[in-house]
Amino acid sequence: MKFSASQIAALLAGTVEGDPNVEVWNVAKIEEGAPGMLSFLANPKYTPYIYTTKSSVVIVNNDFVAKEPVTATLIRVDDAYASFAKLLAFYDAMANQKEGISSLAFVSSTAQCGENLYLGEFAFVGEHVVIGNHVKIYPQVYVGDGCVIGDDTVLYPGVRLYRNTVVGKRCVLHAGAVIGADGFGFAPQPDGHYEKIPQVGNVVIDDDVEVGANTTIDRSTMGSTRVHKGVKLDNLVHLAHNVEVGEHSALAAQVGVSGSTHLGKHCVVGGQSGFVGHLHIADGSKFGGQSGIMGSIKEANQEFMGTPIQPLRQYLVSNARFRHIDEMMRKIEALEQELSELKSKI
């Protein structure tokens, strides 16, 4: 798709300075620009690049003053960064305009499908599924019996929804996400073998949730594993059975949350962090990467790091001291040597 500078300016309510008919068809960093590319300048640190960039069009703030000749066409706006983000969102929406049901897809006769459904090749929709309006289901997606999918939700290739999974409106589930697999429930028996405990619950994902690629959310033993409104899960996150994640929380890649742990609202969890089971985490809790959370957090809006976790300030102090441990050991050894010599003289 090609867009002219004048079309972009109209979308952003900006003004063109240069050739209004120049066309762009892709985006690039201002320092990596090439003909046909669109860039933006918001951080003054990158100002020197506007005089050398090869990009055809650059979005700048209204107060930008050029001190040298600029070859690119400029689009002046109130906020270059926000305008560029708006443009990316528009481009992404255009690129993902998909409609129609492929003849190679399967839809059960008992399924209810809303308007403007896109269903790609080899997608499967099971019995008694309910799909809302403007939903996009990409190739090789499996939607099990009894699932519900809200309006404007996107399921990218290879997503698997086990039976009775509920996904809200405007959600995005990236490739390979598995929602509703069995929770890890096994009862040890006297003879040493493990007896599987049936997992008869489901997973409920509320509106405006994004689930990263190859993330897994297990269905509950009973009731629901719950991901509340606005939650963002990165790639390779694992939520075990009966976990609950509060509204607008964000979990980075490779976070693991053990069964029946409840995270509050607006929690932020760094990558590779792990929670033991049956914890309650207060609203606004923040955990640095590779944190090991082994106990409940009762006080809201606190920051932690380390394994096991410590309050962030305490962790940073301890870590700074740890860097001097070799020096401290040498001093202790010297003191022990002096003490030994003094004892020998007494």
Catalytic machinery residues: 241
d(CA 221, CA 283): 25
Give the dihedral of Cα atoms 41, 42, 47, 52; nearest 10 deg: -10
Nearest of 224, 228, 227, 226 to residue 202 by alpha carbon: 224
- 64 three-class SS: coil
d(CA 319, CA 267): 24
- Sheet of 262-263: strands edge to edge? 112-113, 130-131, 148-149, 166-167, 202-205, 224-227, 244-245, 262-263, 280-281
Q: Are 205 and 171 in contact (CB under 8 A)?
A: yes
Question: Look-up: residue for tokens 């519900």?
Answer: 148
Q: Are 59 and 75 in contact (CB under 8 A)?
A: yes
Phi, psi at 29, each rounded to 5°: -60, 150
In the beta sheet, which residues pair with residue 26? 37
Structure tokens at 286: 């923040």
Alpha helices in 96-186 (DSSP H): none
If one counts every other C-beta atom within 10 angstroms of the C-beta of residue 236, the result is 18
- Residue 131 per-residue DSSP state: E
d(CA 159, CA 302): 35
